[in-house]
Structure 1
Amino acid sequence: MSVEPEAPEPTWPTPPDGGWTADDLDRLPNLPPHTELIDGSLVFVRPQTLFHSRAVTFFEWQLQSVAPADLEIVREFSIDIDRYNRPEPDVIAVRGDIVDDPEQTRFPAESVLLAVEVVSPESRSRDRETKPLKYARAKIPHYWRVENHDGRAVVYVFELEPATGAYTSTGIFHDRMKVSVPFPVDLDLTTITPRRRTAGQA
């Protein structure tokens, strides 16, 4: 009778005194994809929901189609806020002149014009509370939060208020999202979730 060997227990990196730094994300081996650094702690992301995947793809492609030529739209790419914070927004609009090296793994936060987060059940508090505070502190001018409300996308739009250095709400969009900043956008949000029709379907 053969006995299958037990699977080894997963080993996670032990944080140093003071916590991990932004540079450590590029050096630590075997980190799960899309690991973020928040306040010196590693944040591992759970598998994506279908809504999350479709929403991220929607905003990536839609923004690419309307963004000015001097901006690049990049999905799931980390940004340096400070030594102990290197989050990974789902989609960003970043200055094109900073995208110059195919081997680069992050962008400076000051080059980011817009950060978009698609909320998952496990990321709700980070996307609603933690990340907006850090993005505002990094002076990212625009922040969009996308949430799943009964299978439909709702987008909460925020703009940095220069006098306070905090985000202020500038709109909540359900079926159609039309804004003029950071560049003109007119989006049909109802197209995010429906399944594609096949040939022959009405």
Structure 2
Amino acid sequence: MTIAEGWVELVQDRIEVPRSARLRLTENGLTLVPVTQAHTTTARRIQNQIEAGLPGWAAVGEFSLVPPREGYKPEPDAAALPLDQVHPGESEINEALLPFVVEVVSPESKNRDYNTKPSHYALRGIPVYLIVDVLSATWTLLTQPEDGTYQCTQSGPFGKEIAIPVADQTLTLDSSQFMRI
């Protein structure tokens, strides 16, 4: 970890941020990001479907992926973790444990969710990255990471089911439950 990376983590830990916003490290520095009801509701509904549709797994959100890479620890909106790997006192999850991550697009995060995060998640070897765009009522499923790029892409409108491979199971998300801005 460089001095700058340590400084960013120190600042993020000490700044008090309202519950209606998140502090994010972006290419432009630390950014205060508002959180919309569509974002919060959709992330919660995804987590509820994970809990209902994946026996033996827990839905997780509000966590950082470790190890940091280039000073960056992504914070996916939702993912699943095997029940025996859930540690209630921790706020970081090792990337190797996650079969997929979900980002819910906000007006401020759209460019990062579509253009920056795919390479971050693919380089980390996360098998599946789901982008849920509450702005356009569409979803994009990226799979088969190779050399920092996902090789397969599927997209659809809200209302269609999304099949996500998870270990020896398939999680089916009902995107008609997602909220649109």
Bin of the TM-score, shorter chain as denominator length: 0.7 to 0.9
Equivalent residue for 1:45?
Answer: 33
Change (3 A) 1:180 1:98: closer
Instruction: State yes or no: 1:82 paired with 2:64.
Output: no
Change (3 A) 1:31 1:129: farther
Moved more, 89-98 or 124-133: 89-98
Equivalent residue for 2:118?
Answer: 132
Give the alignment's TM-score, normalised by structure 1.
0.72
Gaps of 5+ in 2: none
Q: Is the 8 A contact 1:148 1:154 kept in 2?
A: yes
Q: Of the two, which has the highest radius of gyration?
A: 1
Change (3 A) 1:180 1:116: closer
Equivalent residue for 2:142?
Answer: 158
CA RMSD between the two structures: 2.8
Match 2:155 to one of 161, 172, 177: 172
CA distance in 2, matches of 1:158, 1:187: 15
Equivalent residue for 1:186?
Answer: 172
Letter of the 1:122 partner, please give it. Answer: E
* CA apart distance, 1:113: 1.2
* CA apart distance, 1:38: 4.8
Instruction: State yes or no: 1:28 paired with 2:23.
Output: no
CA distance in 2, matches of 1:74, 1:25: 24
Give the alignment's TM-score, normalised by structure 2.
0.79
Identity over aligned residues, as a percent? 27
SS at match of 1:117: strand
* Correspondence 1:65-104 to 2 at 5 A: 65-69=52-56, 71-83=57-69, 84-100=71-87, 102-104=88-90
Gaps of 5+ in 1: 1-16, 195-202
Q: Is the 8 A contact 2:24 2:31 kept in 1?
A: yes
Which is helix-richer, 1 or 2?
2
Which is strand-richer, 1 or 2?
2
SS at match of 1:172: strand
Q: Describe the superposition over 1:61-81 as per-residue Cα deviations: whole angstroms up to 9, x where unpaired.
A: 011111130x32112221114
Q: Is the 8 A contact 2:120 2:148 kept in 1?
A: no
* CA apart distance, 1:178: 3.7
* CA apart distance, 1:27: 7.4
Match 2:94 to one of 108, 113, 120: 108
CA distance in 1, matches of 2:108, 2:151: 24
SS at match of 2:144: strand
* CA apart distance, 1:180: 5.1
Change (3 A) 1:94 1:25: farther
Q: How many pairs does the alignment contain?
A: 172
CA distance in 2, matches of 1:95, 1:168: 26
Equivalent residue for 1:122?
Answer: 108
Structure of greater relative contact order (alpha carbons < 8 Å, 6+ residues apart) = 2
